[in-house]
Structure formats: C-alpha cells, structure tokens
Structure 1
Amino acid sequence: MAIGNAVAIQQSVSGLMHNVGGTKQEGWKPGRNYTEWSMKERFYVGEWLYFGYQKNMYSVLQVNHTDYENCNSDNPVFKVTGGAGRDVFQLNHSITYYFISGGGYCYHGMKLAVLVQNPPQPPAQAPLPSPKNSSPSNYGTTSVIVPISLVFITSWLFNIW
C-alpha cells in the first residue's frame, strides 16, 4: 500500500489530516450535515482532508461556489476521486474549497464547504537585552550583591536582627 505510506509521510511533514465527517467510520455518505461538521473545525493551509466512502456509489469533486450551491457535477474544478474510496486532498490555499458528490448524492447532503486560513503565526518574542558587562565571571553579580549588602547593613545599623 505505497499510496497510504506516501500520504502518511506527507501528513507528518505538511499538516493535520481531517477525517471528513468526523471519523473514518462516519465518512463521506448521504444524510450527514457536513456544514455543521466543518463549522466546528479549523482548517489551515497545508492540512489535508480524508474522504472515506463506498467507491462504487459516491465520488468527491471539487467544484466552484455556483456548482456547489446548485449541486452541479458537470464541470468539476478537480476530481478528487481516485477510485479507491479513500481519497485525500491537500488544502494548499487560503480560500473556501467546495466539494460535492456526483450522481445526485449532493442533493442528499453530500456537499462540503471548507474555509481554509493561513496558519496562525507564533507571537513575536521581544529581543533579550544585551548585558552591560559581557564578562561571564561577574555577569549579574553586582546587581545581586548590592541589594543584599544593603539589607544586612541596614539591619545591622538599626539593630533589626
């Protein structure tokens, strides 16, 4: 199963794999609310969609918005279906992707819109201040010794201890 291994390698390098519908068992089939599922997920550029379905009944077609709304499978942008019933699709751009199943199954709920965002950027870290004295033997010792010495001297002068 070389294709599966290639997908696993690309998944680990490029991003998260989303099981369309929630789990591999739920999968791509009629009678599901894929809009509800996709609204609960976050999709980022570089991640993958996994479509698991009955290969002899359903298909996965990437379509434009109009064809998505009208369940028109005549002119797909891309045929995701590879014939195995276990197909993956990489989300390469920060756009909304539209998918339907042909054969009239789109009318039975087999349609999915996925809003893909750019990955969040990690917060920028403030640069560390450069030390005034870069000698490693006494870096920071002056600032610690002076306040501690003042405490002892002050305590001794005022006989606090």
Structure 2
Amino acid sequence: MAGSSRRLPLLPVLALAAVLFLIAPGVAEAAPELVFHVGGPRGWRVPEVGTNYGWWAMNNRFHVGDELYFKYTNDSVLVVDREAFDACNATEPLTTFADGATTFRLDRPGFFCFISGEPGHCEEGQRLIVRVMVHPAVAASPAPGPATSAQPDHGGSGGRPWPSGWPGAASGAATVPTGVAFAAAMAALVCFVLMLQ
C-alpha cells in the first residue's frame, strides 16, 4: 500500500508530460508562414480590365508572419495609410520600395495598404489592401510552395481555407492537422495506460 500511495502523485505528472511532449510538435504545424506572389506570374502591374487586386486579397487568408512578394519593372510599391489608399495619394507613403522584387513581411494583425508609385497606376487599379488575421485558425496543411494566382482576381484559397461562415469560405469544416490528431490520440492512450496502473 505504501508503494502505491507514492506512485499516485507521479501519474498526473507523467500524463501531463506525455501530453505536452506529444502535442507540442503538432501545434507548431498549425499555421505555417506563407509567401503570397502578388499578381501571380504577371506580377505587380496595372490589372487587366475586369480584374482587381481586391478580389485576389479577399480570396486569400493572411496571418502574422506571412509575406507578400511583389515582382515588377519600372514601377514601385508604396505602403500607405487607408486615407492615402482611398485617394490614390502617393505623395507621403509610409514606406517606398523600388527594387523590382520586394518581399514585405506582414508583422502585425490589421490592414496593410499598398499602391503603385507610378502616376495613374493606382487609379487604374494597381492597389492592394490586405487584412492580416489576429488568430490563425487550425486548418489543413497547405500544399508546398508559394500561394500564387494567375491573375490578380483569382487567388484560390492561398493555402488556408476561410473559417466557415466567412465570405469566400468553402463549404465544410476546417480539418485538424494530422500531427495534432495523432498527438491527441497518443496522449489519451498514455493517460489510459497510466490510469490502469
């Protein structure tokens, strides 16, 4: 009897350690960072008639840590506030990029506004506003490689499905990554075995 009373406090500690050990690797896989190629293979330029970057942005989900990749020639990317975005005002940008291949890291939740620095391009539709999500949803692992689209208005899921009920959401519930499901099953098994002792 004395031996069993000493083992009882150890069981919850072992169970907790097993749960943390098994679940931690799966949680790290829940929301990988992605690189979104703005404009797909066409790159950052005035969109064709009937297309726009707004539709592309609405069909992708962006999270803190993701990156936008702008590929362009004889142009620039200006990060602006919402007022300058709405007015296509390029006179006082927050940040200016003109290297032809800009990678911009989404480092906080909220909205980011981008316009072209070339005169007239913003008015012709070369502007983009993205919303960075506060909390990443547990979703299926994305396909390898960057999230791209052939045209600015056709972006697909961007590697992450929308939560059900949101505009652009596909029908069906989001799935749990296999690493998390496996870890949960193993934790339950370990807890059951430990309780039998």
- Normalising by the smaller structure, the TM-score range is 0.5 to 0.7
State the AA in 2 paired with 1:109.
Answer: G
With normalisation by structure 2, the TM-score equals 0.53
Q: Which has the higher contact order (CA 8 A, sep 6+)?
A: 2
Aligned residues: 115
What is the aligned-residue RMSD (CA, Å)? 2.2
For 2:71 and 2:84, how far apart are their aligned partners in 1?
22
For 1:86 and 1:60, how far apart are their aligned partners in 2?
10
Answering whether residue 117 of structure 2 is matched by residue 99 of structure 1, we say no
- Unaligned 5+ segments in structure 1 are 1-13, 135-161
State the AA in 1 paired with 2:71.
Answer: G
For 1:38 and 1:111, how far apart are their aligned partners in 2?
11
* Superposition deviation, residue 38 in structure 1: 0.7
With normalisation by structure 1, the TM-score equals 0.64
- Unaligned 5+ segments in structure 2 are 1-31, 140-175
SS of the equivalent of 1:74 reads: coil
* The structure with more radius of gyration: 1
* Superposition deviation, residue 119 in structure 1: 2.1
Q: Which of residues 20, 38, 44 is equivalent to 1:20?
A: 38
State the AA in 1 paired with 2:125.
Answer: G
Q: Which of residues 56, 59, 68 is equivalent to 2:76?
A: 59
- After superposing on structure 2, the runs of 4+ consecutive aligned residues of structure 1 that deviate more than 4 Å are 121-127
Answering whether residue 94 of structure 2 is matched by residue 77 of structure 1, we say yes
Identify the residue that residue 64 of structure 2 maps to in structure 1.
45
For 1:132 and 1:35, how far apart are their aligned partners in 2?
55
State the AA in 1 paired with 2:70.
Answer: F
Tell me the percent identity: 34
> CA separation of 1:45/1:107 partners in 2, compared to 1, >3 Å: closer, same or farther?
same
